[in-house]
Amino acid sequence: MPTLNTPDDHPTESDYLGQPTRRALFRAGAGSIAVLAAGGLFGSRVAQAQALASPAAVPVVDKLAVRVVTDSYHHAFEPPRTQGPVLVQRLGFAVAPRTPPKRTLQNEWGLALHLESTRGAETRQVLIDFAYTSETLLNNLLLAGIDAGKLDAMALSHGHYDHFGGMVGLLQANKGKLKAGLPFYLGGEECFCTRELNVTGDPGSFGALDRQSIQDAGLTVTFAEKPSILADHGVTTGWIPRASFERVLSPTRMSVGQSGGVGCAPAGLPEAKRSIAIAPDDFEHEQATVYHVKGRGLVVMTSCGHRGIVNSVRTAMKVTGVDKVHAILGGFHLAPHPADYQRQTLAELKAINPDFLIPMHCSGETFISMVQQEMPDRFIRSSTGTRFTFAA
């Protein structure tokens, strides 16, 4: 369970993953509450995630089912099938006898994943990211039969609107239904910074997480800046270092500070960013989600992979101590990159030798075509509503 331990500072690129330098953002005793209050956070409903003490502490699950709640594409007609050991189930149309259909799955530029894991007799449910709009998120959760009241945790991969835009509507629609003190995992205070898209002309607002709605819903904001246990069954990677050829693009910029309760507290940011008003987004707060499936290896979910899909997967391997990767799924953020860069990325992923690649969201059709051509037996096409089951 989450604890109120003292978190660490963001490490530099040279720091070992599990040994970042210390800082005094949250101090032991009453001082921690004062710092949290000064940062405009949530009083006592702020926790530090349970740190992953060692690779030996990584949970091992018997089964992991990943439902793509929201993505950009809906594949309705393919019947359930197995590809190797993976069960692939598509979600078609919501129809009933003698009743005209009223709903269908909605697609948008955003991502939301529902995870259901099993270990022995216990199960855990986690919702990772919250799509672009609440209308799409709520509609698709309903059609997929997912009850937010059964969630054991919520997690945000990074502070981009296409990953948290639907959160406020989700919380409002489920007021009083969520488990008390439901942990909300995120990779750092940077998630709360207001952001603008780097577009030609006047930058476009890209929103900010709504602290008040999170507080009103009674969530426990759970910082996971280091490798941490997620809802007993999974792991978050924490900070992802740049250790490969991959370039971190900055499609957004962050405003440092708060106004009217909106924004990020400078004291919670890495020291180099605390005294500047506008900072290019380098995604130091981004994290990937990892599950170790018994007898299969790691299932790594990158959501967007701004820090680099190869960096993300290698970080997952290092913090867990597991070299075998069963599946890599999520957004790989390759659409903005030229074809040569994408081919180099695919070569690096081939060297990691995953059993399956399941690109989503921002991966891009060019890269998807490359995987289809070069790894046809390991490629699985994703779509909104699809459920992937990985089992021992």
- Tens of pLDDT, residue by residue over 165-191, are 999 999 999 999 999 999 999 999 999
Does the residue 189 lie in any domain? yes
Helix (H) or strand (E) holding 37: helix 30-38
| The total number of structural domains that make up the chain | 1
Tell me the DSSP string of 287-349.
Answer: --EEEEETTTEEEEE-TT-TT-HHHHHHHHHHHHT---EEEEEEE---TTS-HHHHHHHHHHH
Does the residue 295 lie in any domain? no
Asked if residue 20 has pLDDT above 70, the reply is no
CATH, residue 193: 3.60.15
Does the residue 222 lie in any domain? yes
Q: Report the predicted TM-score, pTM, of the whole model to 2 decimal places.
A: 0.90
Residue range 298-322: mean pLDDT, rounded: 97
pLDDT score recorded for residue 204 = 87
Does the residue 86 lie in any domain? yes
Does the residue 360 lie in any domain? no
Work out the number of other CB atoms within 10 angstroms of the CB of residue 16: 9
Token digits for 321?
Answer: 């101590």
- Tens of pLDDT, residue by residue over 90-106, are 999 888 899 888 899 99
pLDDT averaged over every residue in the chain: 89
- Tens of pLDDT, residue by residue over 70-82, are 999 998 888 899 9
- Tens of pLDDT, residue by residue over 222-274, are 999 999 999 999 999 999 999 999 999 999 999 999 988 899 999 999 999 99
- Tens of pLDDT, residue by residue over 31-61, are 333 234 334 456 668 999 999 999 999 999 9
**Cα 259 from Cα 265, distance rounded (Å):** 10
pLDDT score recorded for residue 6 = 31
Structural domain that includes position 216: 30-289
Reduced to 3 states (helix: H, G, I; strand: E, B; else coil), residue 361 is helix
- Tens of pLDDT, residue by residue over 324-359, are 999 999 999 999 999 999 999 999 999 999 999 999
Q: Helices marked H in 147-298 — which ranges?
A: 161-164, 167-173, 211-216
Asked if residue 132 has pLDDT above 60, the reply is yes
Does the residue 269 lie in any domain? yes
- Closest by CA to 186, choosing from 136, 126, 274, is 126
**Cα 314 from Cα 5, distance rounded (Å):** 27
- Closest by CA to 321, choosing from 59, 56, 62, is 56
pLDDT score recorded for residue 42 = 62
**Cα 385 from Cα 207, distance rounded (Å):** 26
Q: Helices marked H in 209-263 — which ranges?
A: 211-216
Tell me the DSSP string of 371-392.
Answer: HHHH-TTTB----TT-EEEEE-
